[in-house]
Structure 1
Amino acid sequence: MTHNSNKVITRFAPSPTGALHIGSARTALFNFIFAKQNKGKFILRIEDTDKERSKKEYEKDILDGLQWLGIEHDEIYYQSKREDIYEKYIQPLLEKEIIYFSPPEEEEKKEGILRFKNPNKKITFNDEVRGDITFDTTELGDFAIARDKQTPLYHLAVVIDDHEMGITDVIRGEDHISNTPRQILLQEAIGASRPRYTHIPLILAPDRTKLSKRTNATAILDYKKEGYLPVALINFMTLLGWSPQVKTENRQPITDNKQQITDDVDDGIFSADELVKRFSVSAIQKGGAIFDINKLRFINREHLKKIPFERLKAEIELFLPSEMRKMTPQAHSVLIQVIMEKIDVFSDIEALYKAGEFTYFWEQPTYTVEALFWKEEKDSATLAENIDKLVQLLSEISQEQFTADVVKKHIWSYATERGRGSVLWPFRFALSGKEKSPDPFVIAEILGKEETIRRLEYAREKLF
């Protein structure tokens, strides 16, 4: 039954023969946004007629991936449950001799097949991205359209389903442009209306080759496991082939990893609602969209900054190694802030942990005596005096008040008087064993008063 309505209806039609990847997810996203933007309907159609390759686990992966991204369908259909509908269209085509049966001997196969009798004419259709496109269908020959009366092949199934579901707009990858003339011939054969076509650019690797698993074409649920935010992935995918209309006044683009990211709303950072408001088919580009993992990481980091601290804390907890959870609530909160300064995505925590970035928070760091000296200084007596003074000043602070701000306030005057480098460098190194780390006041708060003083005394003992 067809839909007699001017309402915008789009569809995403994946085959459950593999996991949901970036390319397919972006197609679903563009269709979802366009339908929502026009107060229309977004249909999910599972094209599962290939019974040998279609798997339930892939179907679940597709559904779970879309749900995680927040791409919600209004209706869902399965081609495998629509055989009676297909027969309703195929039988009249046979009777009118628009299609015909090609026997096994002609096909050089075990079984025969139904073929479309090509009228051999030129077809012109308008693509919302590329304008008018013309094909001479003669070169297509009499193409196969069904195995039997109930089992259409891809092109006929698509045309029948689009007609039955009232699809008004077909938004799909540019690799489908060559499929369009066949489908238009079949639309004319069954008396279906022609939808509007929008063919979006392919997603390319940084070297402009076809995107593959080796070039970060990760399955959507893998991004979830790595700790990317769904809103960040949606933001990133929308910018793969679509450019927002930029308002240039009082706006400067920013550059991250040599990749220019420009927009008049937080420099290309959009919420899902903002994308629905801003998206425009007319702003979809023709050229290939370059997949840049650094840009995705940048966008994810920007979205992390927008998360309320308590929610962020709960999210980070899921990725913390067990050692990093054995801290007081106060130290734990400060550690979360330290972590946030170092990561773009939650899975970075594990990588940093394995690289020893955070080990000094629960293990005594190892270092040489020479590392404690600031620049060219070599006087052990002066260094020992500075460490003794740090211990004295820190001992005056109660355990309850031992925060980064209070620690800094207590030692700042002395550090300024003696030379900040001479005092703060050994303070940092005694606590972390690293040249680069969070400032020593923050480390001290995380370690606590007792451990901070113990590490300073340990450094003092190493001098003599």
Structure 2
Amino acid sequence: MGNQKIRTRYAPSPTGYMHVGNLRTALYAYLITKHEGGDFLLRIEDTDQERYVEGAVDVIYNTMKMTGLIHDEGPDIGGPVGPYVQSERKPLYADYAKKLVERGEAYYCFCTKERLESLREAAEDSKAPVKYDKHCLHLSKEEIEANLAAGIPYVIRQNNPTEGTTTFDDVIYGAISVDNSELEDMILLKSDGYPTYNFANVVDDHLMGITHVVRGSEYLSSSPKYNRLYQAFGWDIPVYVHCPPIMKDAQNKLSKRNGDASFEDLIAKGYLKDAIVNFIALLGWSPGTNQELFSLEELIEIFDYKQINKSPAIFDPVKLRWMNGEYIKKLSVEEFHKLAEPYYAKELKHPHMDSFKISKLLQSRVEVLNEIPSFLDFFNELPEYSNELYIHKKMKTTLDNSLVSLEKILPVLEGLEDWTHEGLEKAITATIAEMGIKNGLMLWPIRTALSGKASSPGGAYELADILGKEESLSRIIKGIEQLKNA
């Protein structure tokens, strides 16, 4: 391997979603090769025609583009070792399967569904592992030729040894040995002429010069079968990097079936793509420092796949929220506002309000974009609230002194011409000075009357500025009435 250029690939099946686990596989494959200045390939594995979902290839392209995992070769851009779609490579696989038959490493199998079914039932009755019994390995050349000439459907099976062990080295998990008696004579070529996933994988990885294969640890147990194929062809075995499973909690794996989020779901919920990529990078890998926030460029710089963990990674939604909040804070106000606008368009009932000013208040408070509507309710209308909100220990406000402050400020605000943040601040500060009171005694009652909430983004000046003169005055008058009736 010495100075050979590193080549990795992401080889998804077009089945509809980009699961978090799939995205992590793509990310690690990308980081491994980019860290060394190598090539990253995209290959579409669509040989399982029954699972094919319309539009799924676009989901793959869009996700890769959004996350910045840009491939150097692939179906859409071509490259020297195409085609990059397995169904377009179909004739290749039959040729390679037949090569193995010639070498005695594979054989034709003409067994009917019924015979295979009875083998399965017998194995289950005797609690033995279900395995093909090599029945067709012993057919004579004449029998095989007669069957082929008669057009009897067949599959081609790998001819695995039944004695001894097969050992392989995994970068993360070390040396792993399997008893050959456990190896199944797996089907390489199906009766429809399509290769099985495992076989196509090996042939394509070899022909495309893939040096490092990144995949989930659930493939550990099939690695010996892969390696026997490489050896049967006399090919170099790639470096395997098996990633630990991603768990929802200590017992359950993350899965789309249980309604766990895919990449699209997370985007729809208002997570930022860069935060998702950063979070997923740390599911099973750590840089060995305390740093947690990384751009894609920084990840490329420091990613060392030998630091991938063996133990399962827990998908911690609390940490993802926190991280997303950090990414939101790093945006410019303009960028945040652009992301927030669709929520305002849907939720903000008063078109005269300056939503850019709302964005300035919300940016440091929002962790996930879909929380934005929960901050907008009181801008739309004043909620019913209890007078208890006026009482604040630290501000030293009571129902009585709150009423005094609001009654004092109302005529000042009614006569105010310059209804801007600066104008409001000037007028209110002057009144506070004139009354000889602490700021909080005036500002807390105003903020409470304007928002009707125990906590709100922004204080008295910001809220009055956004709500506008008419709405602000009507809310303050309502507060005065409420306090008078207390």
Task: Report the TM-score range of the alignment, normalised by the length of the smaller protein.
Answer: 0.7 to 0.9
1:309 aligns with 2:333: yes
Indicate the residue corresponding to 1:342 in structure 2.
365
1:115–1:146 contact (8 Å) kept in structure 2: yes
Q: 1:54 to 1:342 in 2, by over 3 A?
A: same
1:4–1:166 contact (8 Å) kept in structure 2: no
Indicate the residue corresponding to 1:87 in structure 2.
94
Q: What is the distance in 1 between the residues matched to 2:212 and 2:53?
A: 28
Indicate the residue corresponding to 2:201 in structure 1.
158
Per the alignment, in what secondary structure is the counterpart of residue 330 of structure 2? Answer: coil
> How far did residue 97 of structure 1 move?
2.5
1:275 is aligned, of 283, 293, 299, to: 299
Q: 1:216 to 1:236 in 2, by over 3 A?
A: farther
Q: What is the distance in 2 between the residues matched to 1:54 and 1:379?
A: 67
Indicate the residue corresponding to 2:281 in structure 1.
238
Residue correspondence of structure 1 range 2-401 to structure 2 within 5 A: 6-76=4-74, 77-105=84-112, 106-108=115-117, 111-120=153-162, 121-148=164-191, 150-213=193-256, 217-246=260-289, 262-263=290-291, 268-324=292-348, 326-328=350-352, 331-350=354-373, 352=374, 357-368=375-386, 372=390, 383-395=402-414, 397-399=416-418, 401=420
Farther off after superposition, 417-426 or 57-66: 417-426
* Residues paired across the two proteins, number: 435
1:124–1:134 contact (8 Å) kept in structure 2: yes
The one-letter code of the counterpart of 1:349 is: I
Structure 2 residues without counterparts, runs of 5 or longer = 75-83, 119-151
1:373–1:422 contact (8 Å) kept in structure 2: no
> How far did residue 72 of structure 1 move?
1.6
Q: What is the distance in 2 between the residues matched to 1:4 and 1:286?
A: 26
1:30–1:238 contact (8 Å) kept in structure 2: yes
Farther off after superposition, 78-87 or 317-326: 317-326
1:413 aligns with 2:422: no
1:393–1:410 contact (8 Å) kept in structure 2: no
Q: What is the distance in 1 between the residues matched to 2:474 and 2:73?
A: 64
Q: What is the distance in 1 between the residues matched to 2:258 and 2:184?
A: 37
Q: What is the distance in 1 between the residues matched to 2:68 and 2:194?
A: 33
The one-letter code of the counterpart of 2:37 is: K
Q: What is the distance in 1 between the residues matched to 2:448 and 2:218?
A: 57
Farther off after superposition, 232-241 or 384-393: 384-393
Q: 1:271 to 1:414 in 2, by over 3 A?
A: farther
1:455 aligns with 2:465: no
Q: What is the distance in 1 between the residues matched to 2:382 and 2:158?
A: 77
Q: What is the distance in 1 between the residues matched to 2:388 and 2:212?
A: 70
Q: What is the distance in 2 between the residues matched to 1:39 and 1:228?
A: 30
> How far did residue 383 of structure 1 move?
4.6
- Aligned-residue identity in percent: 34
Per the alignment, in what secondary structure is the counterpart of residue 179 of structure 1? Answer: helix
The one-letter code of the counterpart of 2:460 is: P
Q: What is the distance in 2 between the residues matched to 1:80 and 1:291?
A: 34
> How far did residue 327 of structure 1 move?
4.6
Farther off after superposition, 173-182 or 419-428: 419-428
> How far did residue 425 of structure 1 move?
3.3
Per the alignment, in what secondary structure is the counterpart of residue 319 of structure 1? Answer: helix
Structure 1 residues without counterparts, runs of 5 or longer = 247-261
> How far did residue 183 of structure 1 move?
0.3
Per the alignment, in what secondary structure is the counterpart of residue 193 of structure 1? Answer: coil
> How far did residue 226 of structure 1 move?
1.8
2:409–2:428 contact (8 Å) kept in structure 1: no
> How far did residue 83 of structure 1 move?
1.2
1:91–1:149 contact (8 Å) kept in structure 2: no
Q: What is the distance in 1 between the residues matched to 2:111 and 2:449?
A: 82
Per the alignment, in what secondary structure is the counterpart of residue 115 of structure 1? Answer: strand
2:449 is aligned, of 430, 442, 452, to: 430
1:22–1:217 contact (8 Å) kept in structure 2: no
Q: What is the distance in 2 between the residues matched to 1:126 and 1:63?
A: 33
> How far did residue 111 of structure 1 move?
4.7
> How far did residue 131 of structure 1 move?
1.9
1:399–1:448 contact (8 Å) kept in structure 2: no
Q: What is the distance in 2 between the residues matched to 1:43 and 1:458?
A: 65
Farther off after superposition, 118-127 or 80-89: 118-127
2:34–2:300 contact (8 Å) kept in structure 1: yes
Q: 1:96 to 1:461 in 2, by over 3 A?
A: closer
> How far did residue 374 of structure 1 move?
5.7
Flag the structure with larger Rg. 2
Per the alignment, in what secondary structure is the counterpart of residue 190 of structure 2? Answer: strand
Farther off after superposition, 30-39 or 53-62: 53-62
